[in-house]
């Protein structure tokens, strides 16, 4: 990792990750960006480009609900930021599978918890149906069903925790 994490109380940090991710999604929305913002805050990553680049990944990519859950995408972005293949490796054709392996672990947590990594499938698991975020009536129904009250905020909170646990484990702290 680029900067060694200095953490006094890992349990409090994990709790903070869940609460902050939950509150960001509840108040500001856009799951991928909420995960990135939370982990940037906790890990003290000051990179506006990473934050901005995560925005369109929310809601299953472009709010379509058809792709990967934005919370998972946001977590994978942070893992890629910390452990991904660098430009000099890319230019020389050197494979660096660390970020892919860590992202796979995050993906597996999503599948274990929700049965899928696809936004609409996770919605169906949580709500009994999926929603079309480009349809105003569906957006209203999503909100009425607790979409930004507790459902998606909980998904974001868990994604923040799982991503942070993977990072801490990678950094040699398996006590989380």
Asked if the structure places residue 1 within a domain, the reply is no
Average pLDDT rounded to a whole number, residues 95-100: 92
Q: Above pLDDT 70, what percent of the chain?
A: 93
Task: Flag whether pLDDT at 172 surpasses 90.
Answer: no
Instruction: Say whether 103 sits in a helix, a strand or coil.
Output: helix
Q: SS in 3 state form for 112-167? A: HHHCCCEHHHHHHHHHCCCCCCCCHHHHHHHHHCCHHHHHHHHHHHHHHHHHHHHH
pLDDT tens digits along 24-83: 999 999 999 999 999 999 999 999 999 999 999 999 999 999 999 999 999 999 999 999
Average pLDDT rounded to a whole number, residues 84-94: 94
Instruction: Say whether 111 sits in a helix, a strand or coil.
Output: helix
Exposure pattern of 15-27 as b/e (b: 16+ CB <10 Å)? ebbbebbbebbbe
**Contact criterion met (CB below 8 Å) for 160 and 24:** no
Asked if the structure places residue 21 within a domain, the reply is yes
Number of domains in the chain: 1
Query: For the range 87-96, what are the long-range contacts, defined as Cβ-Cβ under 8 Å and sequence gap of 24 or more?
Result: none
Task: Give, as one character, the DSSP assignment of residue 59.
Answer: T
Parent domain of 67? 10-170
Asked if the structure places residue 176 within a domain, the reply is no
Burial of 127 (0-12, 13-18, 19+ CB in 10 A): middle
Asked if the structure places residue 73 within a domain, the reply is yes
Supply the mean pLDDT for the chain: 93
Asked if the structure places residue 118 within a domain, the reply is yes
Asked if the structure places residue 29 within a domain, the reply is yes
State the pLDDT confidence band at 176, using cuts at 50, 70 and 90.
very low
User: Which residues lie across from 68 on neighbouring strands?
Assistant: 118
Asked if the structure places residue 5 within a domain, the reply is no
pLDDT at 7: 52
Average pLDDT rounded to a whole number, residues 122-150: 97
State the Cα–Cα distance between residues 172 and 4, nearest whole angstrom: 10
Crossing angle between the packed helical segments 70-83 and 152-170, to the nearest 10 degrees: 20
pLDDT tens digits along 5-26: 555 588 899 999 999 999 999 9
């Amino acid at each position: 990792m680029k900067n060694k994490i200095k953490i006094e109380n890992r349990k409090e940090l994990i709790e903070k990750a869940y609460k902050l991710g939950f509150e960001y999604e509840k108040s500001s929305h856009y799951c991928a960006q909420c995960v990135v913002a939370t982990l940037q805050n906790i890990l003290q990553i000051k990179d506006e480009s990473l934050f901005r680049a995560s925005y369109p990944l929310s809601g299953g990519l472009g709010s379509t609900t058809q792709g990967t859950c934005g919370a998972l995408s946001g977590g994978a972005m942070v893992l890629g930021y910390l452990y991904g293949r660098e430009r000099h490796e890319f230019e020389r054709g050197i494979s660096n599978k660390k970020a892919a392996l860590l992202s796979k672990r995050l993906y597996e947590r999503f599948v274990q918890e929700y049965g899928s990594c696809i936004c609409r499938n996770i919605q169906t698991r949580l709500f009994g149906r999926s929603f079309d975020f480009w349809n105003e009536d569906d957006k209203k129904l999503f909100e009425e069903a607790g979409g930004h009250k507790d459902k998606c905020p909980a998904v974001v909170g868990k994604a923040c925790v799982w991503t942070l646990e993977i990072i801490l484990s990678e950094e040699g702290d398996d006590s989380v």
